[in-house]
Each structure stands twice: as structure tokens, then as C-alpha cells.
Amino acid sequence: PLCGAEGHSLASCGSRARATAIRCDAFRPGSEHGEAEVAEMARAVCTSPPEQMRWHEGVLYVTFASEADAAKLVEVAAGEGLEVGGEPASVERAEQPRPAVAGQA
């Protein structure tokens, strides 16, 4: 989902360290709503704009030119918050797997 190339998983994608995963209740299946808000915040706090944004299973993956920019977006979103369509968004590094939730496989 990060680089657009097929034949490998997210876990083995070379772009993973430079990417963030953004989840939000405002994201609707089949909708690309929210890209503008995310891009605006990224331009305001990062040294370079996102290289690309890709949707995969309701998650917006944003890839930056550097790991530092990905970390900065996560840091600012954690401190100041990020809202998309009036809903709070969760922003985390794509390189960190989401913790398993009891009862889910």
C-alpha cells in the first residue's frame, strides 16, 4: 500500500520507515475525503510535502521524503491533535505494527 508496487507486503516495503498510517472515523469506504486536511498539516509542520498518499482498507498511508518528516507529523498530531472532517484522527508510524486486540486475529 505504500509504494504502489505489488509482490511484497507492508512489512517488507522499503518505504515503510518514511510513512505514516492515519485512521479516522471520517474516512468512508470508497472516499478519499481527508487528504486535503492531512496534506495541509504535513506542509505546515514537515520540511517537505508528502511524496504520496495511498488508501488501503480505510487507512490513509502518507509517505514522506524522510523518516524525520514522518516522525514530525506523528509528534505534532499527538501533541496538537489532527482532525479530519471534525473527527479526531490517529496518526502513527507505518513501521510500527498495531498492537493486537484481544479476540481479534
Give the Å distances, CA to CA, from 19 to 11, 46, 82, 86, 101: 12, 13, 16, 23, 23
* 14 confidence band (pLDDT: 50, 70, 90): low
- The three grid cell numbers given for residue 13, joined into one nine-digit string: 516495503
Residue-range domains of the chain with CATH: 10-93 (3.30.70.330)
Tens of pLDDT, residues 53-104 = 988 888 899 999 999 999 999 999 999 988 888 889 999 998 755 554 445 4
